[in-house]
Structure 1
Amino acid sequence: MNYYDKELAALRHAGRFRTRRVFGAETVDLASNDYLGLAEKPEMFDAAVARLHGEKVHAPKASMLVNGYHAIHREFEDALCEANGFEAGIVMGSGFNANLAMIEALVRRGDELFMDAKYHASGVLAAKLVEGKVTYFGHNDIRELEAKLAVSDARRRIIAVEGIYSMDGDLMAREIFDIAERHDALLIVDEAHSSGVVGPRLLGVFDLYGITPKPNHLKMGTLGKAYGSFGAYVLASRHITDYLLNRAKPVIYATAPSLFDTALAHASLRHILEHAGELHEQIEARRAMMNAMLGINADGLIAAVPVGDNRKVMDIQAALLEEGMLVGAIRQPTVERAIVRLIGRLGVDEAALRRGCEIVARWVK
């Protein structure tokens, strides 16, 4: 029996049906979040293999609180803390799990979570699991956020925003740091798409805005994007980190993160810090080119080009595939209205990126 025939038919009718596909190595990748092209650098792989060589184990074997915590995890956490200026950190299995861990654990009965309306789906799902009150505010609307905080009688207030928003490509408002300070609110900053992309040291919005981490700050970053690996981390005060280790279910009940992926991300962190200046110049050049050619205002390497028609975005994607290039055709429920999502990855030749922008611009003008 086909239990979900009607639902699948509805998705096909709406132009929202999705499938998996393996794209050949010859395809020019303008769709992935591998912003710096590190997932394609063999020296990153070699460094991770070298770090694991000679270790007694090559997999974590257990949860972090049983016997899965390894020196490789601790070394990377210490390096992240030193680079970003935080007291403590926890490596986790994925950005999705990190958002579930933070939000579900931090928002208790009597608390109130203030979440940007365009926060990632992982955070939205986590918000449905909390015991406290959940309040959404308009995307990057600092006046609405301040007004809602001012009338809150919650025991604790927690704000959740993204450094760069994954589908719009815009930066969080700098003023949100000040608002969190004025209202004594915890501030979660999801830096999945900003870490490795913005700031003079390419460490994200804390780096970009010159923010010294404070006890009310939490920074989440992913390893499967600019770091060319898989996994995530949360950086915070020692106090908050201790709390998450004792209450966050994706930490307590999941096998610890992969040793290889953690070592790989550590190699990428070193590479980013050592080459931040030249990488920053390349990012800025590509960002300027995309903005000029597509008529947008991307703050990072995400070019979100509005189309508004599900079938048309699929047609645009197909046209680019005929040219050997892949872009994202993003539809509901990921976005309200369909967009073409083009990534100006440093792993792609600049001439190919320019050609991709030309084709997209021609379709949407």
Structure 2
Amino acid sequence: MYQHELQAIRKANRYRTKTVYDEGIHDFSSNDYLGLAENKTLFERAVAHVSMYKTHAPKASILVNGYHPIHEEFETLVARQNGFETALVCGSGFLANFSLIEALPRKKDLLILDEEYHASGMVASKTVDAEVLTFRHNDADHLESLINSRPHNRVIIAVEGIYSMSGDLLNRAIFEIADRYNALLIVDEAHSVGVVGDHLRGVFDLFGITPQANHIKMGTLGKALGSYGAYILCSAHIAEFLNNRAKAIIYTTAPSLFDIALGYQGFLYVMKHAHSLKEAINVRQTLMQKRLQITMPGLIGSYAMEDNAQTLALQKSLLEAGFTVGAIRPPTVPSPILRIIPRLAESIEDLETLCFLIEKARA
């Protein structure tokens, strides 16, 4: 039925498949930045936490009968530690972003997204009655010009703390613009939580920004925290509205109790070990700059390639040598890249070897 479409995808070297990799391979492609997905102590603590209760699954949507003490404990912790009034747990980062983008912009509002914002928000933006615009990546001046170019009721701005493909850090000036115009600012911190800031809590932490009523933060449990799921941090007023309008909160089963318990343990681990984790991150950032000339505000290395075929060929040769990296191609990115994640679970020696193999292949 879709033979012609699949043939076109293959011809453009954009074809994708699922692969189960050998556990012995050196993983430089996953978003498990801190290696917590391999930490058995955190796993065992999460199992013990869930085992304390009669039920081990949420059973219903969170607004029916699916809200559980494990959800509440995590929400309380993450809101308090980040300086927000409240938190909402969600089944995934995609669902959290979809909830925010689908629910918050109303008729006569203006929704403005960074052009490199995650696909979850871009898809959700197609469902709203508000006027939807995109601004040039990280360009605060262009954002401000768009705000002033249209009549509007509310303004909602959506950005990422660290962009998932380029690894770019959010332009701090965007906070200033959001505050100047009293715009709601949604910051997707999926790839910055656990990676940047004095306490590794993301860009609010990095920039020293005290959350205000117009600030909304989305964080995931499935990257640095070594689990699965997500949370939204916001004012009590915004949380009340989302609980009554966000379809991806109202109509989905509540998040897995085990995943939230595991994310809770990951969050505690980062709180306890922030100093040593920051040192290990800095060593890897320095090495990537020295060997591959990649500046990394976080732990995403974007290595430019010439075309899709070359990108896939280099990925294959690295895999044969025992290393996985991401071969990211359009339409995910404008031009193909190797996406290299120098995870803390992999040794510095292995990272050195990976860099050598890439240098050798591109010489």
Indicate the TM-score class for this superposition, using the shorter chain for normalisation: over 0.9
- Amino acid across the alignment from 1:228: G
The answer to whether structure 1 residue 116 and structure 2 residue 114 are counterparts is yes
Q: After the TM superposition, list the runs of 4 or more consecutive aligned residues in structure 1 that deviate by more than 3 angstroms.
A: none
1:339-363 CA distance string (max 9 Å, x none): 0000010011111111112222333
C-alpha deviation, 1:82, in angstroms = 1.0
**1:317 aligned to 315, 318, 322, which one?**
315
C-alpha deviation, 1:152, in angstroms = 2.8
Three-state SS of the structure 2 residue aligned to 1:275 is: helix
Three-state SS of the structure 1 residue aligned to 2:233 is: strand
Three-state SS of the structure 2 residue aligned to 1:308 is: coil
Say if 1:95 and 1:231, in contact at 8 Å, map to a contact too.
yes
Question: Within 5 A, what are the aligned runs for 1:133-144?
Answer: 133-144=131-142
1:299-331 CA distance string (max 9 Å, x none): 111000010310111111111111111000001
1:153-187 CA distance string (max 9 Å, x none): 21000010000000000100011110001111000
**1:358 aligned to 348, 356, 359, which one?**
356
Looking at structure 2, the residues matched to 287 and 247 of structure 1 have their Cα atoms a distance apart, in angstroms, of 41
The equivalent of 2:6 in structure 1 is: 8
Looking at structure 1, the residues matched to 359 and 335 of structure 2 have their Cα atoms a distance apart, in angstroms, of 18
1:230-253 CA distance string (max 9 Å, x none): 000000000001110111111100
The equivalent of 2:176 in structure 1 is: 178
The equivalent of 1:55 in structure 2 is: 53
Say if 1:197 and 1:280, in contact at 8 Å, map to a contact too.
yes
How much identity, in percent, do the aligned residues show? 52
**2:252 aligned to 235, 251, 254, which one?**
254
The equivalent of 1:297 in structure 2 is: 295
TM-score by length of 2: 0.99
Looking at structure 1, the residues matched to 124 and 292 of structure 2 have their Cα atoms a distance apart, in angstroms, of 35
Three-state SS of the structure 2 residue aligned to 1:153 is: coil
Once superposed, what is the RMSD of the aligned Cα atoms? Answer: 0.8
The equivalent of 2:271 in structure 1 is: 273
Question: Within 5 A, what are the aligned runs for 1:216-255?
Answer: 216-255=214-253
TM-score by length of 1: 0.98
Say if 1:48 and 1:260, in contact at 8 Å, map to a contact too.
yes
Query: Which segments of 5 or more consecutive residues in structure 1 lack a partner in the other structure?
Result: none
Three-state SS of the structure 1 residue aligned to 2:71 is: helix
Three-state SS of the structure 1 residue aligned to 2:63 is: helix
- Amino acid across the alignment from 2:260: T
1:108-131 CA distance string (max 9 Å, x none): 111011100100111110111111
Looking at structure 2, the residues matched to 308 and 99 of structure 1 have their Cα atoms a distance apart, in angstroms, of 32
Looking at structure 1, the residues matched to 358 and 125 of structure 2 have their Cα atoms a distance apart, in angstroms, of 36
C-alpha deviation, 1:75, in angstroms = 0.2
Looking at structure 1, the residues matched to 79 and 19 of structure 2 have their Cα atoms a distance apart, in angstroms, of 38
Looking at structure 2, the residues matched to 308 and 234 of structure 1 have their Cα atoms a distance apart, in angstroms, of 38
Question: Within 5 A, what are the aligned runs for 1:95-244?
Answer: 95-244=93-242
Looking at structure 2, the residues matched to 13 and 169 of structure 1 have their Cα atoms a distance apart, in angstroms, of 28
Three-state SS of the structure 1 residue aligned to 2:262 is: helix
Looking at structure 1, the residues matched to 255 and 39 of structure 2 have their Cα atoms a distance apart, in angstroms, of 22
